[in-house]
Amino acid sequence: MSLETPLHKVEGLGSSHSGVTHFWRQRVTAAALIPLAIWFGVSALGLVGVNESATLTFLSQPLNAILMVSFVTISAYHMTLGIQVVIDDYIYVSWQKISLLLLARIFAIAVIAVCVFALLQIARVI
């Protein structure tokens, strides 16, 4: 069973030239963020008032590091998908649209890279 329209199957394009793929990616990342956001919130509240070494110890544990990288990565990707919709809807000049989409992706990649680098540094320090 496919969610593509008959015209999309013939042309290989949807109204936004990507069909329902973008829609499903947003929904899947949103669903994945629900348990990760709950974990992050509970963890952050649990770390309120503790010293820096306790926080570093918490983040150096493999499960917590994996969950943090997952949270940041999926959040950044979800953010990029949302910003892409806004840019596609409200920016009409092609070069501006391409530039903004590129900047959004570069920003997301930079956020992910900084988070992974920081967690790797924390794991090495402890």
- Whichever domain contains 27, its CATH number is 1.20.1300.10
Query: How many CB atoms lie under 10 A from the CB of residue 46?
Result: 11
pLDDT of 20: 82
The answer to the question of residue 112 being in a domain is yes
State the residue range of the domain holding 52: 6-125
Q: Above 80 in pLDDT, residue 88? A: yes
The answer to the question of residue 55 being in a domain is yes
The answer to the question of residue 114 being in a domain is yes
The pLDDT of 35-47, averaged and rounded, is 97
Q: Above 80 in pLDDT, residue 121? A: yes
DSSP H or E run through 68: helix 62-90
CA neighbours within 13 Å on the CB side: how many for 116? 10
Q: How many structural domains comprise the chain?
A: 1
The answer to the question of residue 24 being in a domain is yes
The answer to the question of residue 89 being in a domain is yes
The answer to the question of residue 14 being in a domain is yes
Assign 3-state DSSP to the chain and report helix, strand, coil percentages, each to 5: 80, 0, 20
The answer to the question of residue 78 being in a domain is yes
What's the pTM value of the predicted model, to 2 decimals? Answer: 0.81
pLDDT of 123: 86
The answer to the question of residue 1 being in a domain is no
Mean pLDDT computed over every residue of the chain: 89
Q: Above 90 in pLDDT, residue 63? A: yes
Q: Above 90 in pLDDT, residue 116? A: yes
The pLDDT of 5-11, averaged and rounded, is 64
